[in-house]
Amino acid sequence: MESFPRRVLAVDDDPVSLAITAVLLEAEGCAVLQAESGEAALEMAAAHAPDCVLADLRMPGLSSTELALSLREVVPGARLFAMSATPPPHLDGYDGVLRKPLSPESLQAAFTDPGIVAETDTLPEHTSDGDAVIDPHIFHRLLKSIQAAGVQEIYEVFLHDTRQRVASMRTADPAATRREAHTIKGGAGMVGAILVSRAAAAVEAGIDDPGERLRKLEEIEAHCRSTEIILKQRLNS
């Protein structure tokens, strides 16, 4: 059995995913360092020598196996885990792969039994219309880890970030649009914004018709409004 890491470096280019990863790690008693790129992660690892690194699998610039090999040179004793919504069963350079959205259970499983693809716990069936907008399991998991004000702040950051990305996607080329959609999908998955995640996944897959692409972006914005409404209802209940 591996010991639970004391100092963890979390690496993700999506600020929402990075914030939630930090919250979950801190709830497990870890001191958390945060980096928004592979290049920044190398500098931080060299300066602070973390026991463990959790890195998003798909980031611009240095990422994936190339990042892992670079980290091995800087912090050879650290355990390295990749994070992905669609993880491969094995990835060269890493000790294991964690499936997003993360959970306390998946983190504990990965830290105590490295080398596996750590699954999140089973999601319950939806029991209300609101549950089809914000996944209740993920919402309550966050609520257990931090106070309600912190949960509200995380969702507000996610919604603001998503709206900014959608605005930029309206005039972006198809490749940039798909990259932004991938980031939105990742953040939506971490906060359980189900409808936003599905719409973003459709844009990420590629929509050739510009008019249809714009309609899908409007759909993401509409789902953001629905998410905001359900969030207020949950926090006030």
Residues 176-220 pLDDT 10s: 999 999 999 999 999 999 999 999 999 999 999 999 999 999 999
SS3 letters across the chain: CCCCCCEEEEECCCHHHHHHHHHHHHHCCCEEEEECCHHHHHHHHHHHCCCEEEEECCCCCCCHHHHHHHHHHHCCCCEEEEEECCCCCCCCCCCEEEECCCCHHHHHHHHHCCCCEECCCCCCCCCCCHHHCECHHHHHHHHHHCCHHHHHHHHHHHHHHHHHHHHHHCCCCHHHHHHHHHHHHHHHHHHCEHHHHHHHHHHHHCCCCHHHHHHHHHHHHHHHHHHHHHHHHHHHC
What integer pLDDT is reported at residue 115 of this predicted model?
Answer: 54
Q: Strands of 96-99's sheet, edge to edge?
A: 31-35, 7-11, 52-56, 79-84, 96-99, 117-118
- Residue that is written with structure tokens 């399991």 in the block: 137
Tell me, what's the pLDDT at 108?
85
Give the domains, in start order, of the chain with CATH numbers: 7-118 (3.40.50.2300), 130-236 (1.20.120.160)
Residues forming a β-bridge with 118 = 98
pLDDT of residue 117: 52
When computed from its CA atoms, the radius of gyration of the chain, rounded to whole angstroms, is: 18
Q: Which of 139, 162, 161, 159 is nearest to 151 (CA)?
A: 139
Nearest to 182 by CA among 100, 92, 96: 100
Q: What is the pLDDT of residue 121?
A: 42
| pLDDT for the residue 213 | 94
Pairing mode, strands 7-11 and 31-35: parallel
- Torsion sign over Cα 190, 86, 35, 163: negative
Q: How many Å apart are CA 58 and CA 62, to the nearest integer? A: 9
Q: Which pLDDT tens digit goes with each residue over 42-98?
A: 999 999 999 999 999 989 999 999 999 999 999 999 999 999 988 887 789 999 899
